[in-house]
Amino acid sequence: MKTAVEWLQDTWLNYPDLCSYDKIQEWFKQAKEMEKEQSLEDYSVGYSNGQVDSNRTANQYYNETYKNTEL
């Protein structure tokens, strides 16, 4: 599984002719969504393995941790 950054790098390097401003913005949006999904999955795995001591859901954790920050 690639990280969002690895996916963005591969996409950018494999499709240099498509690097218009709009296309790059679309790729960044996709990468941010991938990063969010990866964070939610990581939290869920940690919770199910007993490594997260919290009653928060993965979405609550993500929103509390990242909602006010730009990736």
Residue 43 class from Cβ within 10 Å (0-12 exposed, 13-18 middle, 19+ buried)?
buried
Q: pLDDT for 27-42, tens place per residue? A: 999 999 998 888 888 8
pTM over 0.75, yes/no? no
| pLDDT value of residue 29 | 93
b/e sequence 18-41, b meaning 16+ C-beta within 10 Å: eeeeeeeeebeeebeebbeeebee
* Cβ-based neighbour number of residue 13 at 10 Å: 8
| pLDDT value of residue 71 | 47
